[in-house]
C-alpha cells in the first residue's frame, strides 16, 4: 500500500512538473557552435545559436553566461566597442597583466539586444573578443590548451502566456538588462542538447633550453658591451706617443 502511494505521488508530481514547463518542452532543438578565430594572444570567440520551438517566441531576448577560463580574459574597457548587437554586463574586472597560473575562472553575462517577436526560430551569432594569457615555461615546452566551454543560455519573454509564466516562475534571477543593475528579472534556462567547446593552443617556453638560452644571452650581452666600452678605454701612453709621432711624419 505504501509503495503504491509513493508511485501515485511521484506520478502526480511528474504531471504537474510537465505542465509547469510545457513552454520549455515545446522547444524542439538547440544547436550551438563555437570556434576561436584569429591567432596569437588576441582572439575572437565566434558563437552561433539556433533555438527552434513548436510554439512562437513572443517578445523574447537572449542572455548568455560564459565562464572565462583562467588562461584567458576579457578586456572589459573595450570589449563592447566591437560588438553592435550584444553587450557584456560590467560585473567583473579581469587582471589583464596576470599570467594564467595566477588567475582563476570568471563568469560574465552577455546580453543580446535583439527582440524576437512571434517567431518559431531564434537565430543569433556574435564574436566575443577574448585574450589569451601568458603561460609559464615547462619541461619539454608542451603547448598549453585553453578551453572555452559553451555558455549557459537563458531566455526572457515579455508575455503573459500561461505556459511561459509557469516556466519562468522561480527561475534564474539576473539583471533585466545592462542599463539597470538593481532590477532583476526571471530568466528561463534553455537546456543544451550537446556540449560544445573551443580550444585555444598557446606555446610555452622549454625549461630544458634554459641553460643554453642563458649562455647565449650572456655571450651576446658581453660582446655588445665590449664593442661599446672598447673605444672609451684610454690607450697606453707609449703607444699613444708613437701614434702621434707617426701622424706628424
Q: Tell me: pLDDT of 15 over 50.
A: no
Mean pLDDT, the chain, integer: 84
Q: Tell me: pLDDT of 207 over 90.
A: no
CB within 8 A of 85, min separation 6: which ones?
Answer: 112, 113, 114, 126
Q: What is the pLDDT of residue 69?
A: 98
Summarize pLDDT for 21-79 with one digit per residue, the tens.
Answer: 899 999 999 999 999 999 999 999 999 999 999 999 999 999 999 999 999 999 999 99
* Mean pLDDT to the nearest integer, 219-245: 65
Q: What is the pLDDT of residue 162?
A: 83
Give the pTM. 0.76
Please state which architecture CATH assigns to domain 30-207: Sandwich (2.60)
**Which of 60-64, 204-208, 244-248 has the lowest average pLDDT?**
244-248
* Mean pLDDT to the nearest integer, 96-107: 96
Q: Tell me: pLDDT of 213 over 60.
A: no
Nearest to 167 by CA among 1, 13, 2, 23: 23
CA 233/CA 231 separation, integer angstroms: 6
CA 50 from chain centre, in angstroms, equals 20
Q: Give domain limits for the chain.
A: 30-207, 209-237
Q: Tell me: pLDDT of 204 over 70.
A: yes
Summarize pLDDT for 167-195 with one digit per residue, the tens.
Answer: 888 789 999 998 888 899 999 999 988 88
State the pLDDT confidence band at 240, using cuts at 50, 70 and 90. low
Q: Are 132 and 199 in contact (CB under 8 A)?
A: no
Q: What is the pLDDT of residue 13?
A: 37
CA 70/CA 14 separation, integer angstroms: 40
Q: Is the dihedral of CA 226, 231, 233, 237 positive or negative?
A: positive
Q: Tell me: pLDDT of 115 over 50.
A: yes
Amino acid at each position: 500500500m505504501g509503495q503504491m502511494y509513493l508511485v501515485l505521488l511521484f506520478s502526480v508530481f511528474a504531471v504537474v512538473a510537465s505542465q509547469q514547463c510545457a513552454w520549455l518542452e515545446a522547444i524542439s532543438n538547440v544547436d550551438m557552435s563555437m570556434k576561436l578565430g584569429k591567432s596569437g594572444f588576441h582572439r575572437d570567440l565566434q558563437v552561433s545559436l539556433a533555438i527552434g520551438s513548436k510554439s512562437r517566441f513572443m517578445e523574447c531576448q537572449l542572455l548568455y553566461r560564459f565562464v572565462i577560463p583562467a588562461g584567458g580574459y576579457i578586456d572589459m574597457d573595450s570589449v563592447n566597442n566591437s560588438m553592435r548587437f550584444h553587450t557584456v554586463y560590467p560585473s567583473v574586472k579581469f587582471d589583464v597583466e596576470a599570467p594564467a597560473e595566477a588567475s582563476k575562472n570568471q563568469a560574465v553575462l552577455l546580453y543580446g539586444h535583439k527582440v524576437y517577436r512571434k517567431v518559431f526560430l531564434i537565430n543569433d551569432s556574435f564574436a566575443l573578443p577574448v585574450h589569451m594569457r601568458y603561460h609559464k615555461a615547462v619541461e619539454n615546452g608542451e603547448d598549453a590548451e585553453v578551453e572555452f566551454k559553451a555558455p549557459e543560455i537563458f531566455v526572457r519573454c515579455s508575455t503573459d502566456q500561461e505556459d511561459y509564466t509557469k516556466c519562468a516562475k522561480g527561475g534564474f534571477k539576473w539583471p533585466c538588462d545592462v542599463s539597470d543593475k538593481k532590477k532583476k528579472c526571471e530568466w528561463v534556462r534553455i537546456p543544451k542538447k550537446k556540449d560544445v567547446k573551443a580550444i585555444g593552443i598557446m606555446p610555452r617556453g622549454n625549461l630544458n633550453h634554459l641553460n643554453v638560452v642563458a649562455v647565449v644571452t650572456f655571450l651576446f650581452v658581453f660582446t655588445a658591451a665590449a664593442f661599446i666600452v672598447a673605444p672609451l678605454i684610454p690607450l697606453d701612453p707609449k703607444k699613444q706617443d708613437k701614434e702621434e709621432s707617426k701622424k706628424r711624419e
